[in-house]
Amino acid sequence: MPQASDMTLIEDTAQLFHEEPALAALYGFTPDEVQNDADLLAAVLAGLVPDAQARHRIRDLVGEAFAADAGSVAFALEDLVATAERDLSTDAARVLLFAPGYQGLLSYRASHALLMSGRDTAAAAIKAMLGRQLSVDIAPEAQIGRRVWLDHGLGVVIGRTAVIEDDVSIWHGVTLGSNFVSMGDRRHPLIGKGAVLGGHSVILGGIDIGENAVVAAGAIVTKSIPAGKTVYGPKATIRDRKPGSFSGFT
């Protein structure tokens, strides 16, 4: 039976399934089948895949990974709460079922958990299959902190050695890539706590984006950015913030 701490999310999801009976066929499960939040997360991820046999196997793989790594589940639930809080038009159950950005991040949590358990091939397979469904490419090897928000998620690319600290917000189309020049131990960016990356921004190389920095939509960033600064433009330029300008969520 589900534990008391799991009931709110499961019950809220069940309410949506009750309101729209087609969800059971679309996702391939019903909430009364799940035992806890980890099982629910695995079922929703598996439900993104159309093929029934693959869906069943993905649910098993992700369920096993989450059962062995309670930290990944805790991070995924914190991501869920953060997404619902920053996207004021929704709630946690709707985020879980309908938000492709959150689902893309959840697929990373699953593939990363598999990688940490020594199942690197299974991690790569989950990344590839769910990435095709969600149009994201997040390496299982990347290090992603707590309470991260991927808004929309479509087109997000995060490389193997990227580091994303807590409370970061990322819009669609963002690339955290390599410049093929700095090819050391960390060839992808580090994104500091509370930073905001606007849509289609491109951040290349082993550079640091400081805490609470804002990278405006479309910016191309190839040099480190100090904490608390905003960068913008195809050639990103540092400027001091003006009173009343956007300064992030933290």
Residue 232 is part of a domain; what is its CATH number? 2.160.10.10
Residue 139's CB is within 10 A of a number of other CB atoms, namely 21
What count of Cα atoms within 13 Å lies in the side-chain half-sphere of residue 29? Answer: 23
Could you give the 3-state DSSP secondary structure of residue 221? Answer: strand
Clarify whether residues 117 and 206 are in a common domain.
Answer: no
Same domain, 115 and 185: no
In sequence order, the 6+-apart residues with CB closer than 8 A to the CB of 39 are: 63, 66
**Domain contains 145:** no
Final residue belonging to a domain, choices 66, 100, 135 = 135
CATH number, domain with residue 115: 1.10.3130.10
Q: Computed over its alpha carbons, how large is the radius of gyration of the chain?
A: 18
If asked whether residues 164 and 200 sit together in one domain, one would say yes
Within-domain flag for 149: no
Q: Which two tokens stand for residue 104?
A: 């893309």
Model pLDDT, residue 90: 81
Q: Which of 135, 167, 183 is the last residue of a domain?
A: 135
With 0-12 / 13-18 / 19 or more C-beta atoms within 10 angstroms meaning exposed / middle / buried, residue 180 is exposed
32 and 106 belong to one structural domain:
yes
Residue 142 within a domain: no
**Based on the domain organization, do 131 and 213 belong to the same domain?**
no
pLDDT of residue 152: 92
Residues 205 and 91 both lie in one domain: no
- Please count the structural domains in the chain: 2
127 and 198 housed in the same domain: no
Same domain membership, residue 121 and residue 220: no
Residue-range definition of the domain harbouring residue 70: 4-135
Is residue 151 in a domain?
no
Q: Flag whether 37 is in a domain.
A: yes
Q: Is residue 140 part of a domain?
A: no
| Residue 232 main-chain phi, psi, to 5 deg | -155, 165
DSSP string, 140-174: TTSEE-SS-EESS-TT-EE-TT-EE-TT-EE-TT-
pLDDT for position 4: 35
Residue 240: inside a domain: yes
- Shared domain check, 226 and 182: yes
Please tell me the distance from the alpha carbon of residue 135 to that of residue 129, in angstroms, as a whole number. 10
pLDDT of residue 7: 60
Same domain assignment for residues 123 and 203:
no
Position 9 scores a pLDDT of 94
The pLDDT of residue 249? 79
**What's the pLDDT score for residue 245?**
74
Please tell me the number of Cα atoms within 13 Å of 190 on its side-chain side.
Answer: 13
**pLDDT per residue of the chain (250 residues) written in tens, 0 to 9:** 334 345 689 999 999 999 999 999 999 999 999 999 999 999 999 999 999 999 999 999 999 999 999 999 999 999 999 999 998 778 999 999 999 999 999 999 999 999 999 999 999 999 999 999 999 999 999 999 999 999 999 999 999 999 999 999 999 999 999 987 777 789 999 999 999 999 999 999 999 999 999 999 999 999 999 999 999 988 667 878 888 777 787 7
How many residues can be counted in the chain?
250
Question: In 10 A of CB 152, how many CB atoms?
Answer: 18
Return the axis-axis angle of helices 37-46 and 100-116, rounded to nearest 10°. Answer: 110
Look at residue 87 in the predicted model and tell me its pLDDT.
84
Assess whether 128 and 10 both reside in one domain.
yes
**Cβ–Cβ under 8 Å, residues 117 and 65:** yes
Which pLDDT score is estimated for 217? 96
Query: Is 148 among the domain residues?
Result: no
Q: Is 73 left (phi over 0), alpha (psi -120 to 50) or beta?
A: alpha
